[in-house]
Chain A
Amino acid sequence: MRIRAILESDHLSGWAFASPAVFLIFVFGIVPVIWSALLSFQRTNLLSVPRWIGTANYQALASDPLFRQSVEHSLVYTALFVPLSVAGGLFTAIALNRRIRGVRFYRTAVFVPVILSTIATAIMFLWLLDPNFGLVNYLLSRVGLGPYGFFDSASGALYSIVGMTVWGWIGFDVIIYLAALQGIPPTLVEAAEIDGARTWGMFRNITLPLLGPATLFLVVWSSINALQLFDEVYFITKGGPGTATYVVVYYLFSLAFQQGVAGYAAAIAYVLLIAILSLTLVQLWVGKRLVYYAS
């Protein structure tokens, strides 16, 4: 009787239900966070026995010119990608939020890139921006410009990656903004119309404030992603030309898995974690002051 009671108790069934997922997340999500912290204080190449070296990895980071460059490139990329994709997404969503001919087609055209993989997108853009036979250089030549090297040029490679990733991501911002626009109560719009609000005034004083939460979400979320830029850099430029597109995660990857400096790479991972968390906190703190929450 007692065994039966235990078997039927909620503690047992609760853990029985939760344990497969909890176990997986513990092993592959929680243990590695702690392990990574330990690694960042060690010297190891993933094969040798790790040696404890205190904060030496972090001290070395402070005077590593390539790390410094990677951080700069990541910040430049983020500072361009976030406003361009969020503002572009807002503009496109407002254009798409109306009943006109072909709007379903336009929406699909904007959404499709979101589901394509980074590699598939990169393959398309490598060809589109090809210095010799690319369509974009052809179009530029028609108006007397170019040819540009795009990914091949040290000055333009990072900006080309910005352009490509904005293309790939803008549909995501549009989806979020369209959902938020749907949530604007029609009564508010009508009241403003009765009060004589013009298009711009309506946008500035009604629409934009009500889109605040969506904007804050997109800024936080795009920043997190932008700081984790990797696939496109690995696939297209390998950090080059020279070191022009070295970004933090590419540097981390090449250290850990190509040069075998895993402890040092783990220190970079932790710096990235702290940078992302602090940036998010700052954005949420600023957002709290600026964003108007309706309910």
Chain B
Amino acid sequence: MIIQPRASAPDAPGDAPGADLPRLPRRTARERDAAFLFSPWHLILIPIAIAMLIPMVWMLVTSLETLSQTRHFPPELLPHSVRAANYTDVLRQAPFARWFVNTMIVTVVTVAGNLLFCSLAGYAFARIKFFGREVVFILILATLMIPFQVVMIPTFLIVRDLGMINTLGALIVPNLAGAFGIFLLRQFFRTLPVELEEAARIDGASRLGVLFKIVLPLSGPVLATLAVITFLWTWNDFLWPLVTIYTPNNMTLQLGLTTFQGTHQTSTNLLMAANVMSMLPVLLLFFLAQRFFIRGIATTGLKG
């Protein structure tokens, strides 16, 4: 995976977040009313929306069909009966709950680790003048340009020497801190008014106290953005789990899905039900925190 830091600093406090859902161009009331009811753009947008939604709707429909319904040509677009038991069948036939818990553990610990370690490091690079700061920061930034495939083989060897192959630790430890998170938080911390922090220092607060009591409480949106992006990347990661995990009990959802697909190739209805379930947490988070997803995706350009 490669992350390109964008040139602009992430949202300054109180500023309009540039990467949020864009505000729409202003129009006169009459124009607006007319366009609101019908605009020729609907003729373009409706087909686009259908094309984007059909794969997901078709998956959902299939996940509620019987096996024989899925083996029907022409396909049954509106099945006359609904078979919700596919979902319980999946849970019975594969350690799906286990994969879910594994993925949850890996994701939550990775997100927490990134928030903590990137906050600490980001603050040090933003505010504390220490020996070697510039060199180390540039080195860290340089790692952003390295494709994951270049480090994959030696990282595998390192993780193996640490005895972590085929454990969740292999998925967690190498990803507990990332160059992108440090960069994102450093850029944000530098936009905060330094006077607040200096005043607290004069009042006797420690560096750690300043970070946790003053800086981080002001950094809610940028921390949420980092959390959501780390969540998304960890939840959806495939190549690294594929390399390091080989027993079903230790697999994550993405890896589990591929083994499930291998053994249930012909049970399309079960496969679709499994797929729907694997998406639910990310979809749920997306609809709860759409703002942070959009902002995170726009500032990082990060997917999978």
A-side residues, CB < 8 A to B, are: 10-15, 17-18, 20-22, 24-25, 27-33, 35-36, 39, 46, 92, 95-103, 105-121, 123-125, 127-128, 130, 132-135, 138, 141, 167, 169, 171-172, 175-176, 178-179, 181-183, 186, 189, 217, 220-221, 224-225, 227-228, 230-231, 234-235, 249, 252-253, 256-257, 262, 265-266, 269-270, 272-273, 276-277
Does B301 sit at the interface, judged by CB under 8 A?
yes
Contact A18 B147 (CB under 8 A): no
Instruction: Decide if B168 is an interface residue (CB 8 Å cutoff).
Output: no
Partner pick for B49 among A105, A124, A224, A256, CB 8 A cutoff: A105
Which residues of B sit under 8 angstroms from A128, Cβ to Cβ? 54-55, 58
Contact yes or no, B35 A98, CB < 8 A: yes
Judged by a CB distance under 8 angstroms, whether B220 is at the interface is no
Does B207 lie at the interface of the complex (its beta carbon under 8 Å from any beta carbon of A)? yes
Is A178's CB under 8 angstroms from B182's CB? no
Whether B153 contacts A99 by the Cβ 8 Å rule is: no
The answer to whether A18 and B130 touch across the interface, beta carbons within 8 angstroms, is: yes
B153 and A269 form a contact (CB under 8 A):
yes
Chain B interface category by residue count: 35 or more
CA distance A123 to B303 in the complex (A): 17
Interface residues of B in 29-57 (CB under 8 A from A): 32, 35-39, 41-42, 44-45, 48-49, 51-56
Question: Which 7 residue pairs of A and B lie closest in terms of their CB atoms, listed nearest first?
Answer: A14-B130, A182-B22, A117-B236, A32-B154, A35-B154, A32-B151, A17-B124
Are B4 and A220 closer than 8 Å at their CB atoms? yes
Task: Specify which chain A residues have a CB less than 8 angstroms from the CB of B120 in the assembled complex.
Answer: 17-18, 20-21
Interface residues of B (CB under 8 A from A): 1-2, 4, 6, 18-27, 32, 35-39, 41-42, 44-45, 48-49, 51-56, 58-59, 62, 70-75, 117-118, 120-121, 123-125, 128-131, 133, 136, 139-140, 143, 145-158, 173-179, 182, 207, 211, 232, 235-236, 238-239, 242-243, 254, 257-258, 261, 268, 271-272, 275, 278-279, 282-283, 286, 290, 293-294, 297-298, 301, 303-304
- With A114-B303, A127-B62 already in contact, the answer to whether A33 and B151 are too (CB < 8 A) is yes
Contact: B177 with A18, CB < 8 Å?
no
Nearest A residue (CB) for B304: A118
Q: Which listed residue (B27, B39, B75) contacts A135, Cβ 8 A?
A: B75
Given contacts A10-B130, A24-B174, A172-B303, contact A99 B54 (CB under 8 A): no
* Chain A neighbourhood of B42, CB < 8 A: 100-102
Min distance, Cβ A141 to any Cβ of chain B, angstroms: 8
A99 near B32: Cβ-Cβ < 8 Å: yes
Please name all residues of chain B whose beta carbon is closer than 8 Å to the beta carbon of A119 when the two chains form the complex: 236, 238, 254, 257-258
Known: A46-B156, A110-B49, A115-B283. A123 touches B22 (CB 8 A): no
Most buried by B among A123, A231, A235: A123
Q: With A and B bound together, what is the CA distance between A90 and B38 in angstroms?
A: 22
Q: Decide if A99 touches B24 in the complex (CB within 8 Å).
A: yes
Q: Closest chain B residue to A38 by CB distance?
A: B154
Beyond known contacts A13-B124, A230-B149: 20 more, CB 8 A cutoff: A14-B133, A15-B131, A18-B124, A24-B117, A25-B143, A32-B158, A36-B150, A100-B45, A103-B45, A111-B293, A111-B294, A112-B286, A115-B303, A117-B279, A118-B236, A119-B254, A124-B56, A127-B59, A167-B52, A179-B19
A29 to B182, CA, bound (A): 14
Q: Please, which residue of chain A has its CB at the minimum distance from the CB of B236?
A: A117
Complex CA gap A253/B148 in Å reads 12
Q: Which of A25, A111, A130 has the most CB of B within 10 A?
A: A25
Determine the distance from Cα of A208 to Cα of B88 in the docked complex, in whole angstroms: 51
Return the contact of A97 from the options B1, B22, B146 (Cβ within 8 A).
Answer: B22
Which A residues are CB-close (under 8 A) to B272? 123, 127
Contacts of A13 in B (CB 8 A): 124, 128, 130, 207
- Distance to closest chain B CB from A56 (angstroms): 17
B129 touches A99 (CB 8 A): no
Using known A-B contacts A13-B128, A13-B207, A123-B275, determine if residue A172 contacts B58 with beta carbons closer than 8 Å.
no
Verify B72–A133 contact, CB threshold 8 A: yes
Complex interface: chain A residues within 8 A of B298 (CB): 175-176, 179
